[in-house]
Amino acid sequence: MSEHAVVISGAGPTGLMLAGELALAGVDVAIVERRPDQGLAGTRAGGLSARTLEVLDQRGIVDRFLAEGQIAQVTGFAVTRLDISDFPTRHNYGLALRQKHIERILAGWVGELAVPIYRSLEVTGFAQDDTGVTIELSDGASLRAGYLVGCDGGRSLVRKAAGIAFEGWDPTTGNILAEVEMEEEPPLGIHRTALGIYAFGREEYEIVDGKIVFAKEGPIGVMVPEKNAGATTEPTLGDLREALIAAFGTDYGLHRVNWISRFTDMSRQATVYRKGRVLLAGDAAHVHSPVGGQGLNTGVQDAVNLGWKLAQVVKGASPDALLDTYHAERHPVAARVLRMTMAQVALQRTDDRTEALREVVTELLGMEEPRKRIAAEMSGLALHYEFGEGHPLLGRRMPDLDLTTADGPVRLFTLLQDARPVFLNLDAPGSFHITPWSDRIRLVDAEYHGGWELPALGLVSAPTAVLIRPDGYVAWVGEGTQDGLQEAVNSWFGPTGSRPKNAD
């Protein structure tokens, strides 16, 4: 029986990101994936948000995604586009990039980190005890792990086998999504009709002046609404043809389906993200309508929140209770995402009353403050973990500052590439005492003379020091004193008496 410190079920974006985070921390992690390779049919999840791009930048791999995607103002609320070009971030935009490419790039990174992937296998069951989890695989073999993380999608076997409830709302809308071949070219783009929203496009496209310009040739991607939400059978070419004729009076010579699937606005969330040594992340923990493009991004950010915490527990630097903060922080985030997507689905209805409501919402979002607030939330830049009262930076993302150090200029995000916590001292060297934690926290003495600005909040007072978690969120802020520093370090990174198992 093979043994690993952590086994992840599922090599989607969430599972791959989590594996990379754990590998960077020196944890023995492996992935179990049902697909024989990283190939993914379809055009699911076509974008990365500004905050996800920042997270990838913190790990030094964002350029791999920027090289293949299309930069655009894709942040939006329902059908209202929201400009974030004035936001204080290096990535004040979204990136249009299909999930299959996102997965391929992440898989390449994980491969460089030598993470083993058990392919063509599925987790079929498990049993956990006081020291670990025995995981049964579809080929009859088994694995042993200290922890099992279910990143295995909305129908998660890990979640079901753990007995974790998946509560929420049944679907009210359904859509067929397909890649097809047609004799006639349909009107490419998005079309609002009395029957719902229809869309036609191609895999290859460019963003020109903020608008999508599709390639002239190739299969057509189609999205059509269904009459009845919640169908359990697979959609057929006939179902698609019927929907097209009902809306447009023609099927445009539809004669071949390369692949076809459906999605709904079902909104559900796991009641707990952890049960003993089993944890959930990504779609295994929360599902909702794809409107707004937050699903993949929320999952990747789940992984970055969980990765460093799980690594510290595995290595013995922090007590097991640190894992409880994963649920405490990420469950409210996904709950808010569910509410926001439900609101957007409601705004996409095509009746006259919804049209009136949409006009009012569009007018409101055209105003400066509402636009900033909702755009900051949709882009992930406004996320705020509740760490108690204090400086506005506390619990928020650390800005990517241009610092000056004794070794020369450095960009702050580059200090996080090894997924270790950073203590940034902007006062005189030696002003803060962190020597007891020097084996686990990187001390950086630096100068910064610019303004401190947060998306939607604006300028905030300059701190004298900040303690930054590996996921890029501020755990403690110094304003001239060391008050609370020891408590913060002990809480997040373990008491001074504990030493990681692989410490020198």
Paired tokens of 387: 């760490």
Helices (H) and strands (E) in the chain, counts: 11, 30
Query: Hey, what CATH topology would domain 174-264 get?
Result: Alpha-Beta Plaits (3.30.70)
Please tell me the predicted confidence (pLDDT) of residue 143.
Answer: 97
Q: Is 251 helix (H, G, I), strand (E, B) or coil?
A: coil
34, exposed or middle or buried, with CB in 10 Å at 0-12, 13-18, 19+?
middle
Please tell me the predicted confidence (pLDDT) of residue 500.
Answer: 53
Contacts of 82-88 with CB under 8 Å at 24 or more apart are 82/365, 82/371, 82/374, 82/375, 82/378, 83/371, 83/375, 84/50, 84/375, 84/376, 84/379, 84/381, 84/455, 87/50, 87/372, 87/375, 87/376, 87/379, 87/381, 87/455, 88/399, 88/453, 88/454, 88/455
In 166-319, which ranges are E strands? 166-169, 174-182, 189-193, 196-201, 205-208, 211-214, 220-225, 254-264, 267-270, 274-275, 278-280, 286-287
The model carries a pTM of 0.93
Mean pLDDT value across the chain: 92
Residue 43 has pLDDT above 70, yes or no: no
- In sequence order, what DSSP letters do the residues of 411-479 get, joined into one string? EGGGGGTT---EEEE-SSTTSS--GGGTTTSEEEE-B--S-EEETTTEEEPPPSEEEE-TTSBEEEEES
411-449 confidence digits (pLDDT tens): 999 999 999 999 999 999 988 888 888 888 999 999 999
216-268 confidence digits (pLDDT tens): 888 999 999 988 777 778 898 998 999 899 889 999 999 999 989 888 899 99
The tokens 């270790």 sit on which residue? 420
Measured CA to CA, the distance from residue 275 to residue 446 in angstroms comes to 42
pLDDT tier for residue 389 given thresholds of 50, 70 and 90: confident
Higher-confidence residue of 205 and 95: namely 95
Q: Is 313 helix (H, G, I), strand (E, B) or coil?
A: helix
Measured CA to CA, the distance from residue 51 to residue 430 in angstroms comes to 33
Please tell me the predicted confidence (pLDDT) of residue 164.
Answer: 98
Q: Is 247 left (phi over 0), alpha (psi -120 to 50) or beta?
A: alpha
Residue 151 φ then ψ, to 5°? -120, 40
One-letter amino acid of 302: D
Which residue stretches of 348-414 are H helix? 352-365, 368-378
**Of 71-80, 100-109, 307-316, which range is least confident?**
71-80
Domain boundaries, the chain: 2-46+98-169+268-348, 174-264, 402-493
> CA torsion angle for 27, 30, 31, 36 (degrees, to 10)?
140
Higher-confidence residue of 84 and 212: namely 84
Q: Confirm if 198 and 223 have CB atoms less than 8 A apart.
A: yes
Residue 44 has pLDDT above 70, yes or no: no
Q: Is 365 left (phi over 0), alpha (psi -120 to 50) or beta?
A: alpha
pLDDT tier for residue 203 given thresholds of 50, 70 and 90: confident
Paired tokens of 213: 């310009």
Positive or negative torsion for Cα 215, 217, 220, 221: negative
CATH superfamily of domain region 2-46+98-169+268-348? FAD/NAD(P)-binding domain (3.50.50.60)
Residue 497 has pLDDT above 80, yes or no: no
The DSSP secondary-structure symbol of 399 reads: P
Please tell me the predicted confidence (pLDDT) of residue 504.
Answer: 38
Query: Hey, what CATH topology would domain 402-493 get?
Result: Glutaredoxin (3.40.30)
Residue 93 φ then ψ, to 5°? -165, 170
Please tell me the predicted confidence (pLDDT) of residue 9.
Answer: 98
Residue 194 has pLDDT above 60, yes or no: yes
Pairing of the two strands 196-201 and 166-169? unpaired
In 41-130, which ranges are E strands? 70-72, 76-77, 80-81, 94-96, 117-119, 123-128
Paired tokens of 326: 């994963």
> Measured between alpha carbons, how far is residue 450 from residues 89, 446, 457 in Å?
14, 13, 17
- The distance of Cα 353 from the centroid of its chain, to the nearest Å, equals 34
Mean predicted confidence (pLDDT) in 178-193: 90
In 151-250, which ranges are E strands? 166-169, 174-182, 189-193, 196-201, 205-208, 211-214, 220-225
332-383 confidence digits (pLDDT tens): 999 999 999 999 999 988 889 999 999 999 999 999 999 999 999 999 999 9
Please tell me the predicted confidence (pLDDT) of residue 453.
Answer: 96
pLDDT tier for residue 128 given thresholds of 50, 70 and 90: very high
Please tell me the predicted confidence (pLDDT) of residue 362.
Answer: 93
Please tell me the predicted confidence (pLDDT) of residue 503.
Answer: 44
- Please name every residue paired with 136 in a beta bridge, in sequence order, or none if there are none: 125, 142
One-letter amino acid of 465: A
Please tell me the predicted confidence (pLDDT) of residue 499.
Answer: 54
> Measured between alpha carbons, how far is residue 448 from residues 396, 401, 423, 426, 455 in Å?
19, 8, 14, 7, 19
Measured CA to CA, the distance from residue 155 to residue 168 in angstroms comes to 14
> Measured between alpha carbons, how far is residue 401 from residues 426, 434, 450 in Å?
12, 22, 8
Higher-confidence residue of 144 and 227: namely 144
Measured CA to CA, the distance from residue 307 to residue 133 in angstroms comes to 18
Measured CA to CA, the distance from residue 215 to residue 97 in angstroms comes to 15
